[in-house]
Amino acid sequence: MKKLLFHLLLLIAVGNIFFQDAHCQTNLRTLSDEQLIQIFEKEDISTSVYYSTNHYSEWTREDMIRILGVIYLDAYNKGEDLGDMRNEVVISKHPGKADEYKICSNSRLSSLKWKNIQYLENNIANTLFFRTNTCFNPEDDFTKKVYFNYGFIDSSKFMTLPKIHDVGFPEIALEDFPWLDGSTSTKPLRIALAATMFELPCQWSCRVDDNIAFPRVSLRTDAGRRRKWATVLINSEKNGIVQNNQSIGSYVELTNAFNNPSGPSTLVINAVPPDLTHKYNPDWTVIHPEYYEWKIIGYDALVPLTNIGNPCQSLTIDEIKNIYHGKLSVWDNLTDNKMKGKIIPIWRNASSGTGILMADKIFGGVLPKPKNAENNEVIMSMLGVIEMMRKPNVIGFSFHFYEHRIAPRIYVKQIAVNGVSASYETIANGSYPLRAPIYAVIPKNTPPDAPTRIIYDFLTTTAGQLIVKASGYVPLTQ
């Protein structure tokens, strides 16, 4: 009897080994949509043999997008509360290992499905991180989202900025350098401009507290006192050379500079020109377009966003209008009935650059008011709009550059407008319908020989346009 029991247990153990070995040959990317849904609901894939490191090299961009899209859409269709997901990832250094990092998840998860989504997103990041040489592509939208979302930066990816002394640009003393102010979406350009002026290396870096990416400058080994101080002042979040008082606040500072010409000077780089800002915010009496001089220095774009699981690929301008006016309220016809239910439009506050451009470019000057403002449909920050895209039934607007480079998230996708997707090429050739110029603005009373005006004039030269392009925006000419 004991011998029979021993052989029975041995047979079960051997069977389990063979079963697991066969199970290992199946990985998530090869499964059908129905199989994926079952696994995410019933198995913990962090320990499951379905997700094997042996298969990492086989994964493609399309595999990753398909799996996440299937799971997000399934959760929505089943009425699961997508708002319970809190994707907070902290990057911390391994003790005693200066160049190695680990991912620590602080997420609060409402179900096994959400735990699996978090795990999958983390492992996508790890997969691409360890395949840097073959997989990282600075112009690939999804790769960039993965990289910046989890704080992994390729140290070799420095901006190619013009050498200022090669183009005969005069050296500007640190104490004479103007404040560079403006909107959040144009902050990287202001940082790149300051880096160019002081001939400092500049590369993208991710802030671990909120997973937002901005360029940072590095201290040169041959740096003298001027460049050392410039490095500190450019990287400083507060009281530095590069300010971020946003669209309206930067024009307030510009008014102060106009009224006090002997005080600190300011050059603004903004996504919205002064006249539109004043037109849609008449209560801000400190904004005086007649005080300013401005010009276009490059291009960005206004883009509609949703969750990666939303099947909607494109919307017309009229459909967008109808959504925000409440005339088009369900997704059924927009997704060929692949997703049903109410459309939740997200507004930015009317004084934001996004709100101003939505009013001007889509709604003929009058931004419609939310029907249920108490449901948090008005979002006061650009990052807040991005975070709302965890829900597949939501639609919101942001700037292409902000979503693409500053706050990229794996779960967000851009919707095409009139059948045209926003990209470097479609923004450059003007075929994307919601292209948005970037403006440089200075006080009108700035003297011709002042450093502020010299930099302002420089921005539309050949070398100045190289800065626009190097920082990721679309220059005036190709």
Q: What is the pLDDT of residue 92?
A: 36
Ordered by start, the domain boundaries in the chain are 23-149, 162-478
Beta carbons within 8 Å of 402's beta carbon, 6+ residues apart:
184, 185, 382
Report pLDDT for 404. 86
Say whether pLDDT at 296 is over 80: yes
Q: What is the chain's mean pLDDT, rounded? A: 80
Quickly list DSSP for 418-456: TTB---HHHHHTT-STTEEEEEEEEETT--TTSHHHHHH
Q: According to the model, what pLDDT value does residue 21 have?
A: 39
Residue-level pLDDT at 333: 87
pLDDT of res. 152: 47
Task: Looking at mean pLDDT, say which of 77-81, 105-109, 304-308 comes out highest.
Answer: 304-308
- pLDDT band at 390; cut points 50, 70, 90: confident
Residue 138 pLDDT: 43
| Mean pLDDT value of segment 97-101 | 38
Per-residue pLDDT, 109? 44
Higher pLDDT, 82 or 128: 82
The more confidently predicted of residues 235 and 440 is 440
* Rounded Cα gap, residues 56 and 51, in angstroms: 9
Choose between 104 and 408: higher pLDDT: 408
The residue that leads in pLDDT, 238 or 288, is 288
Backbone angles phi, psi at 290, to 5 degrees: -65, -15
pLDDT at site 115: 79
pLDDT at residue number 405 = 85
Percent of the chain with pLDDT over 70: 75
Give the DSSP letter string of 130-168.
HTHHHH--TT-HHHHHHHHHTT---TT-B-----GGGGT
CATH code of the region 162-478: 3.40.190.10
Higher pLDDT, 145 or 259: 259
| Residue 390 near residue 87 (C-beta atoms within 8 A) | yes
- Which pLDDT score, from 0 to 100, does residue 424 have? 92
What pLDDT was estimated at residue 68?
85
Model confidence band, residue 271 (pLDDT cutoffs 50, 70, 90): very high
Q: Kindly report which listed range (4-8, 92-96, 409-413) carries the lowest average pLDDT score.
A: 92-96
Q: What is the pTM of this model?
A: 0.82
Of 153, 76, 84, which Cα lies nearest the Cα of 118? Answer: 84
Give the integer Cα–Cα distance in Å for 359 and 320. Answer: 12
From residue 138, how far is each of 67, 109, 471 by CA, in Å?
23, 32, 12
pLDDT in tens, 425-442: 999 999 999 999 999 999
The pLDDT value recorded for residue 238 is 74
Residue-wise pLDDT for 364-386, tens only, equals 988 888 875 444 478 889 999 99
394 vs 214, residue with greater confidence:
394
Nearest to 367 by CA among 380, 383, 378: 378
Q: What is the pLDDT of residue 17?
A: 38
- Tens-place pLDDT, residues 155-180: 446 788 888 877 778 889 888 999 99
Give residue 62's pLDDT: 74
Residue 151 has pLDDT above 70, yes or no: no
Where does the pLDDT of residue 11 fall: very low under 50, low under 70, confident under 90, or very high at 90 and above?
very low
CA distance 457 to 435: 23
In angstroms, the CA 241 to CA 232 distance is 9
- pLDDT band of 93, cuts 50, 70, 90: very low
Alpha carbons 64 and 120: distance in angstroms, whole number: 9
Q: Which amino acid is at 118?
A: Q
pLDDT class of 193 with cuts at 50, 70, 90: very high
